[in-house]
Structure 1
Amino acid sequence: MNEEVNVLVLAAGHGSRMKSSVPKVLHSVAGRAMIDWVIDAVKPLTDNKPVTVIGVGAESVAKHVGDHSEFVLQTKQLGTGHAVQQAQERLADKVGVTLIMSGDTPMFRSDTLAEFVKEHQKSNNAVTVLTAMADNPTGYGRIVRADDDTVLKIVEQKDASVTERRIQEINTGVYVFDNQLLFEALAQVKNNNAQGEYYLPDTLDILRKSGHQIGAHTLQDFTESLGVNDRVALSVANRVMYSRINHELMVSGVELMDSQNTYIDADVVIGQDTVVEGGVTILGHTVIGRDNLITSGSRISNSEIGDGNVITTSHIENTIIENNVTIGPYAHLRPDTILKDNVHIGNFVEVKQAMLAKNTKAGHLTYIGNAEVGSDVNVGAGTIFVNYDGVNKYHTKVGDNVFIGSNTKIVAPVTIENETITAAGSTITKDIPMHAMGIARSRQVNKADFWERMPHKEK
């Protein structure tokens, strides 16, 4: 019979080596806060909500995690053992096992943790330690084993002897304890070490001396054990996570032409046969359909993109793009843009809070803001939708089959009806009725022989 599984996440530290005002566990790895990765990884293990120990930045961490966890507060950071003790009131009376892990270890997979818990439950261990073999173990706690290969103790880097520092098997900081034995042992932990802190690993020696068995389970993939203590480690974690994500996308039928230089967040969805060139960044909750081409230098965030689109070196945020749309190069689609089927947005065109209906084209050097633009509209080069008077923004409505001449300025609020034309160079401040042409510019006057009046330099 499976024992009840409890989960305790340690997330009270500030992470001074991050050199940041943001609590360490809220720093992002591939689009998710580190603590989100941890909470998501443990969800399949138990129906019980995890208990998260918070301290520095407690309010912001609790607000971010929300109802995905329960919380206990560690007001003073006196070590990992002290952190676990803060959950005693919540967990001490529970029967079963408790998985303990840190909120700054975003790389663990759910399957790895499930296997680890299962191995513990099959054993007679009072505690099982998740270990890994490190080529360079500097900074990690070392696993000290007895002659019979059982675990004697875990010794921290600062307290390790020269011989112990040569050990390559390291502590990942993840444990499964018999829940009641955990808190019995914690009551005996002392702080007579270099840091004057209460170390959770000291419980292992206490339990062993009480006649209990201490076991270890070794990771197959060392990268899962990567913790994040500074910006260098954060960069490594991002690189590993992006590599995982890209691998899964390629296996599912997405073509990444240079996967090592393509950055796709964890919550992005991309359909088969979409081609993504190198140097592309796709962020947030973006959903991309099938058979798209996204070229180098594009950056897309929190957008919905259909099928058969070509996006060339452009910046897209909070935008909905339907099917067979062409964008760029160097277009900027800002929040609340909607592009219907077969729209063309060309080079150096910016769109914001606007809907462009099917078959509409804006080819060059244009700004469209706070507008509803109908189908089969041609927006000439240099057109500006003048939507802001310095205090308020106003709306423009353009009907179907409209031809907007180059260098037109449309001063909102204004309505341009179906099948109308604006003359090139016009400043439109009034509505244009159906089938009319709007002209708003001074007549050209040619001054004869004016060249002769100009001062000329001597040749």
Structure 2
Amino acid sequence: MDVTAIVMAAGEGTRMKSNHAKVSHKILGKPMACWVIDSALAAGCNRVIVVVGSHSDEVRAMIASAYEGTPAAGVVECVEQAERLGTGHAVRCALEATGIDAGPIVVLNGDLPLIQADTIRTFANTVANGTHAGAVLTFTPPAPFGYGRIELAADGSVNRIIEQKDCTPEQDAELLECNAGCYAFDGALLAAHIGEIGNDNAQAEYYLPDMVEILKDHGHAVTIFHCDDYRDGLGVNSRAQLAELTAIARDRINEHLMTEGVTFIDPAQAWISPDATIGRDTVVWPQTHLIGTCRIGEGCQLGPNTRLTNVVAGDNCSLDETVAIDVAIENGVTCGPRCYLRPGTHLLDRAHVGTHVEIKKSTIGVGSKVPHLSYIGDTTMGAGVNVGAGSITCNYDGKNKHATTIGDRTFIGSDTMMVAPVNIGDDAITGASSCITRDVPSGALAVERNDQRIIEGYTEKRRARL
């Protein structure tokens, strides 16, 4: 069954008080619209049409960045709503631009980030067999005030949708079925009748909910689909709601990971991306953030105070107070506390990166150690290397970056400056406080120092001059 999803992402979002599109604001590091798109893709929608309008260039760029080079790139597309004339007009723009006129069509709000794939899949099925021409996604939130209410007919079909401002006190108290703002339609009937939505209202806009009455007037049945989990229907219209839904998303993800064998010391203090995976018996300490497509193995210790972005880590790693971005980490690696791993870094099995160490675009070999107060950049390091405290690869000449190579089992003395490009061979040693500017052969000792001078009585003479 071919299912089309139309994601509404054209709104201004004025209550966010932002210079950016509302749907571009992130939950756990991922833009809201991408949560909805991903759920639609996971539900099996074979085409996802994103209607853009306000900040359209920003939204288009965001979607291109998220899906370019993935299988979804051929499924997700954007359609421009040049004039924002209401939700009905937005859907009409999508249909006219794509020519879609058949199959189930689900219309989803781009600011409904918690809607789940199973909800979308079952929602679409309500209009798949021809019994119903349309369906309204409904839910029962703990605090229904502010949501449109659904009045049902005796046979369970939708009688009408009553906006909050139009509810009488009795309706406000009795009608607890709320409109989530999402709709499923028989595609052929939607395409045939979308042009009948009028704009005879105070805002002179074309409202998609009017399709309920239009379909009924043509003798078609419209039903509801109730979300078992009310959180699927919660939307974001303010910064406060953004924070509330972020907390809910965090709890959902962490609860799932715990059922899969991950330990959280304090689940409320760990923020895990929806695109991250964590292996069993890994322990997540407070103030740990996993952003993007992190892949963490089994038996690891993450945190406390660790932020990983697009990091792949093997089994039995310890990442304590570590910031890492676009990094590959093999098995049994230890990092931190307080280290910074920059893009292009690759830590091989049992490597150690210690306190106040920065690694950039470098490979640290099997069992090699950079324990403290060092910077290693554009370096290929062999196995069993020990780098003494305060050592630096001087990889930048002001214009270009240059490479350093360090062989197996080499000992880099404390406070060694390695001025790239330079190669240090296997089993070599550099003396502490040396500035290495020439290649060092395997098995050699490289020492670079000026003679030490002693001036007796200098302090007394200096004081006399002051």
TM-score, length-scaled by structure 1: 0.91
Q: 1:92 to 1:436 in 2, by over 3 A?
A: closer
Q: Which moved more, 1:256-265 or 1:78-87?
A: 78-87
Matched, 1:115 2:122: yes
Q: Which moved more, 1:426-435 or 1:333-342?
A: 426-435
1:246 — aligned with what? 254
CA shift digits 1:34-91 (9 cap, x unpaired): 2222222223555641333222233443452543224432211111111122234367
Cα deviation, residue 184, structure 1: 4.7
Matched, 1:11 2:9: yes
% identical aligned pairs: 38
CA distance in 2 between partners of 1:403 and 1:89 (Å): 69
Matched, 1:79 2:83: no
Q: Which 4+ residue blocks in structure 1 deviate beyond 6 angstroms?
A: none
Report if the CA contact (8 A) 1:145-1:152 is conserved.
yes
Gaps of 5+ in 2: 65-72
3-state DSSP class of the match of 2:232?
A: helix
Q: 1:163 to 1:200 in 2, by over 3 A?
A: farther
- Pairwise CA RMSD of aligned residues? 2.5
CA distance in 2 between partners of 1:268 and 1:417 (Å): 39
**Equivalent residues, number:** 456
| Correspondences of 1:171-320 after superposition (within 5 Å) | 171-320=179-328
> Which one of the candidate residues 360, 366, 390 is aligned to 1:358?
366
Cα deviation, residue 24, structure 1: 2.4
CA distance in 2 between partners of 1:335 and 1:445 (Å): 43
Matched, 1:126 2:126: no
Report if the CA contact (8 A) 1:256-1:275 is conserved.
yes
3-state DSSP class of the match of 1:125?
A: coil
Report if the CA contact (8 A) 2:127-2:184 is conserved.
yes
Matched, 1:41 2:39: yes
Cα deviation, residue 329, structure 1: 0.6
2:354 — aligned with what? 346
CA distance in 1 between partners of 2:2 and 2:45 (Å): 9
CA distance in 2 between partners of 1:316 and 1:88 (Å): 44
> Which one of the candidate residues 378, 383, 407 is aligned to 1:375?
383
Matched, 1:170 2:178: yes
Letter in 2 for 1:84: V
3-state DSSP class of the match of 1:8?
A: strand
2:29 — aligned with what? 31
Letter in 1 for 2:108: M
Report if the CA contact (8 A) 1:152-1:208 is conserved.
no
3-state DSSP class of the match of 1:87?
A: helix
Report if the CA contact (8 A) 2:95-2:101 is conserved.
no
Q: Which moved more, 1:63-72 or 1:167-176?
A: 63-72
3-state DSSP class of the match of 2:414?
A: coil
CA distance in 1 between partners of 2:243 and 2:172 (Å): 26
3-state DSSP class of the match of 2:361?
A: strand
1:410 — aligned with what? 418
Letter in 2 for 1:85: R
Gaps of 5+ in 1: none
Report if the CA contact (8 A) 1:400-1:417 is conserved.
yes
